[in-house]
Amino acid sequence: MPKGIFVRKPFTKVHKKNISKAKIGSVAWNKGLKGWLKHTEESKRKMSEASLKRGARPPNNSKPKVEKICEYCGKIYEVLPHEVNERQYCSIFCSSKGKNSWNLGKHHTYEWRLNLSLKRKGKNNPSYIDGRNKLNRRSRRSLRYKIWREKVFKRDNYTCIWCGARNGNGKNVVLQADHNNPWALYPKLRYKVDNGRTLCISCHKKTDSYKKNIKL
């Protein structure tokens, strides 16, 4: 038997003409069919009976579906009988919006947050690099500063004391806790709540203690 790769020679025009004449009058086997060959209803019934005799599980679409109401959007949707007690929402979107987060409404105490901060502070932090952060940056990122800022916001009811701007009613206002006496000039008053005030960004930029306006 010869070895190697054989390439079929292209048909000549005469050969193609002879093949075309030979197929005149014959009907293609897939004429009138869309896609693959479709089974008749009788053929489908026989295949279903044969699969059930072999012990196959009947398809789920043969069971009547049950209507339910989505607990989030109120839309009526259909589920299979075995999913009645499992599904409460019509889609993944409604499921994510309808379920409450496990930590919703839970707040840690200041003592707990302070202890956790001390355990991850300085050389105790696995990402610590000696001499990388300045003292000023570390102070502004400390838990003590965050607690001071929260107390200032709560005292002013999360409202700018100059223009009265606050979040809500479609408005997104960024509030900042400003020091009456500048941070750099009065280090002993940095964490005094009486030395803080709530301002929006535009009002904060107008103050003399803003970082670009302050004169040391």
Q: What is the mean pLDDT of each run of 10 residues along the chain (216 residues)?
A: 63 88 81 68 84 68 81 89 87 82 81 88 77 73 93 95 88 92 89 95 89 60
C-beta separation of 29 from 45 below 8 A: no
What pTM was estimated for this model as a whole?
A: 0.43
Looking at residue 57, its pLDDT comes to 63
What is the C-alpha to C-alpha distance for residues 153 and 142, in angstroms, rounded to an integer? Answer: 17
Query: How crowded is the C-beta side of 54, counted as CA atoms within 13 Å?
Result: 7
Q: Which residue has the tokens 């103050």?
A: 207
Looking at residue 49, its pLDDT comes to 84
Looking at residue 106, its pLDDT comes to 81
